[in-house]
Amino acid sequence: MGAVRDAKKAYRLLKKALRSRSAVQRVRRRLGDGEQHPLEHYKIAVYFADGAVNMYQMRQWYRPLAELAKKWPVVVLSRSATGAEKLLDEDAPPVAFVPTVRDLEQFIATQDIRIVLYVNQNTRNFQMFRYGRRWHVFINHGESDKMYMTTNQYKAYDYSFIAGQAARDRLTRTLWDFDVNRRTFEIGRPQADHYSGALPYTPDERTVVLYAPTWEGDRPSAYYGSIATHGEALVNALLATGRHRVIYRPHPRSGVVDHEYGAAHRRIIAAISVANSADAGAQHVYDDGPELGWQLAAADVAVVDISAMVYDRLAVGKPLMITRPVDDRASVDTNGYLSDCEWLTAESAHDIVAEVERVHADEAAIARLRMWVQHYFGDTTPGVATAKFHAAVEQLMQKWDAWQAHEMGAVRPDEDDDDEEADEDD
C-alpha cells in the first residue's frame, strides 16, 4: 500500500511540474511577442508570488492601481506562471514575469522602483524584502476581524496601508512594540470607488437582495457557511414574492467538503432558473463570475456569511445581515462589528421578507450601520478613499526623495528644525 501511495504522489507531482513548465513556456512566449518594458519607467511595483487560485487578491486592486499609474507608473512582479497568465488575460497593470530570484534582480536593476506593494503574506515576499532603498508596503486584499489582520508579519514591512480606526485599534491591541501611528496610513477602501461590472438585469421597482454565502469550511471553527442551513429557505421565500430580485453569489468552493451543502447549492440554482422561466421580468441572478463589485453596490440589502464579504459590503454603507452559524463550534469574533450587527438565524431565514424590510427601513439599524462604516472605513463618500490612497503614496514618495538626498550628503530626513535650533542655542 505504501508503494502505491508513493507512486500516486510521485505521479501527481510530475503532472504538477509538467503543467508548471508548460505555463512558464506560454507566459514567456506571450511576453516575448509583446512590447518590452521601457527602462527606468516604473516607480511602483506590486509583488505577487501567488498563482491563479488567489487572483481575487489582485483583481480588486486593478482599477485603483490603474488610477494611481496615471502619475506613478505601476508594474506587477509576478513570480508564478499561472498567476502571470491570469494577469495577462485580465485588466491588470503591466506584468513582469520574474519566476527566479535572478529574473527579479535583473528586472529591478532596469527600473526606478521606489515603492513595493504587497497584497498578501506569501512566504516568498521575504525574497523581495532583501532589496533596500525602497519602501515595502503591505496593502492587503481586504478588511476583516480575522487573526490574519493582526499577524506579527506587519512588522516586516516598512509601512502598511490600513482601512481605518478599527484596523488601528486591532493592531494596537495585539502587536507588541509596533508604532502604529508612524507605520500605518489610513486609506479607507479605494476599491469601493471602482466597483465595476455591467448589471445583468434591468433595474426596476423590485428590492434587490444579494445572498453571498461562503463555503462550508474544513474545520469546526470555520463552519460559517449557510447554504444548507439558511440558504434554501431565504432564497425560496424571496423568489416567491414577485417583489424581490435575488443575486446569488456563492463561494466557488461551495460543496467541496460536504455533499449535502453542494446539493443545497444546486437546488438554489435550479430554483432561480425555474423562477426566471416562470417570470421573465424577475431577472434573478446566479452569479459565478470573477468580477466582484456591481453586486455589492447594486443590492438594496445584502445577506452574507462571516467572511471578507461582510467588510466588502460594509464599505458600501448599505444595509446588510449576517447569517448566525448554527454550529456552536464556529469561532465568532465579537470585539468588532459582529458584536452589533444584524444577525439572521436559521429559524428567521423563513421570515427573510420581513427581515429585509426591517433593515431596509429601520432608522436605528441604519444609524448603527453608519457608525460601524465610519469606524472601519472612515469617510466613504465616493472618491475620498482614492484621494487618501494617492496621498499616502505621495507622502512615501516624498520620504523616498528625502532619504535619497541624505545619501547624497544632505541632512538626515529625521532631523527636524527644532533640533537644529537647539544646536544653535547650545
pLDDT, averaged per 10 consecutive residues of the chain (426 residues), comes to: 61 60 84 84 97 90 97 97 94 95 96 97 95 96 82 96 95 95 97 87 97 91 93 98 98 90 97 97 94 92 93 93 94 86 97 96 91 95 96 98 86 55 38
Q: Which residue has the cell 507531482?
A: 13
* Contact yes or no for 143/315 (Cβ under 8 A): yes
For 181-234, the pLDDT digits (tens) are: 999 999 999 999 988 778 999 999 999 999 999 989 888 888 999 999 999 999
* Contact yes or no for 78/52 (Cβ under 8 A): no
Q: Looking at residue 43, what is its pLDDT?
A: 98
DSSP state of 38: P
Supply the DSSP string of 377-423, one letter for each residue: HS--STTHHHHHHHHHHHHHHHHHHHHHHHHTT---TT--HHHHHHH
Q: What is the pTM of this model?
A: 0.83
Angle between helices 352-361 and 232-239 (to 10 degrees): 80
Coil, strand, or helix at residue 65?
helix
> Edge to edge, what strands does the sheet with 159-162 contain?
95-97, 74-78, 44-48, 115-118, 135-138, 159-162, 184-186
Q: Looking at residue 417, what is its pLDDT?
A: 47
Q: Looking at residue 302, what is its pLDDT?
A: 98
C-alpha cell at 67: 488610477
- With vertex at residue 37, the alpha carbon angle to CA 31 and CA 40, rounded to the nearest 5 degrees, is 155
**Which of 44, 51, 56 lies closest to 140, judged by CA?**
56
Helix runs in 34-142, H state only: 56-59, 62-68, 81-89, 101-108, 125-129
What is the sign of the dihedral through the CA atoms of 162, 164, 165 and 167?
A: negative
**Which of 361, 364, 352, 325 lies closest to 209, judged by CA?**
352
Q: How far does CA 187 lie from the centroid of its chain?
A: 14
Q: Please give the Cα distance from 103 to 99 (Å, whole number).
A: 6
- The residue count for the chain: 426
Q: Looking at residue 424, what is its pLDDT?
A: 38
* Contact yes or no for 161/185 (Cβ under 8 A): yes
Largest alpha-carbon pair distance within the chain?
88
- What is the torsion angle, in degrees rounded to the nearest 10, for the CA atoms of residue 79, residue 80, residue 86 and residue 92? -10
* Contact yes or no for 44/74 (Cβ under 8 A): yes
Count of CB atoms situated within 10 Å of the CB of 191: 24
* Helix (H), strand (E) at residue 303: strand 301-304
Start-to-end CA span in the chain (Å): 82
Angle between helices 81-89 and 2-33 (to 10 degrees): 40
Coil, strand, or helix at residue 2?
helix
* Helix (H), strand (E) at residue 4: helix 2-33
